[in-house]
């Protein structure tokens, strides 16, 4: 299975994984009912603070999909208006780079042709 990732709801920053040349940064997975999971070394497989994103989605939505957790860089659990804050955030978008395959990281698929030109094979 390949990597997958999102962009943070608050800053729209791509959540890079620990294998990326970009390195990682602190991310929080939050829910409307104030549950918070802190992740410092995202591994690229949907786990934040030991909690699987899609397992949490299932817990939050036992029947119909109504609520998704959100991924943010900054969080204040003491916020008196938490629900308003949570609802004001857009959903965390999927990251088209999968938290790893950034334009500046083309080295991951680098090969050399017979004449020495560098070519890229992104189908690994």
Give the count of domains, the chain.
1
Note whether residue 2 is domain-resident.
no
Note whether residue 5 is domain-resident.
no
Note whether residue 62 is domain-resident.
yes
Among candidate residues 13, 22, 14, the one with its CA nearest the CA of residue 5? 14
Note whether residue 72 is domain-resident.
yes
Contact 54, 4 (CB under 8 A): no
| Residue 21 CA neighbour count, 13 Å, CB half | 8
Q: DSSP letter at 13?
A: -
Domain of 46? 27-120
pLDDT digits (tens, 9 = 90+) for 53-89: 999 999 999 988 899 999 999 998 788 899 999 999 9
CB neighbour burial string for 9-21, b if at least 16 within 10 angstroms, e if fewer:
bbeeebbbbebbe
Residue in the structure block whose two tokens are 């070519």: 119
Reading the block at residue 112, the tokens are 């050399």
What percentage of residues in the chain have a pLDDT greater than 90? Answer: 73
Note whether residue 13 is domain-resident.
no
Note whether residue 105 is domain-resident.
yes
pLDDT digits (tens, 9 = 90+) for 32-57: 999 999 999 999 999 999 999 999 99
* Residue 31 neighbours by CB under 8 Å, 6+ apart: 56, 60, 67, 69, 70, 86
What's the Rg (C-alpha) of the chain? 17
Mean pLDDT of 114-120: 41
Q: How far apart (Å, rounded) are the C-alpha atoms in residues 19 and 52?
A: 19
pTM: 0.81
């Amino acid at each position: 299975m390949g990597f997958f990732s999102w962009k943070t709801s608050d800053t729209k920053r791509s959540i890079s994984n620990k294998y990326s040349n970009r390195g990682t940064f602190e991310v929080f997975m939050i829910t409307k009912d104030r549950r918070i999971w802190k992740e410092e070394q995202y591994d690229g497989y949907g786990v934040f603070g030991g909690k699987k994103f899609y397992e949490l989605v299932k817990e939050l939505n036992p029947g119909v999909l109504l609520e998704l957790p959100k991924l943010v860089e900054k969080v204040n659990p003491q916020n008196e208006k938490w629900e308003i804050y949570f609802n004001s955030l857009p959903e965390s978008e999927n990251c088209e780079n999968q938290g790893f395959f950034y334009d500046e990281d083309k080295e991951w698929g680098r090969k050399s042709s017979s004449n020495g030109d560098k070519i890229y094979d992104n189908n690994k």
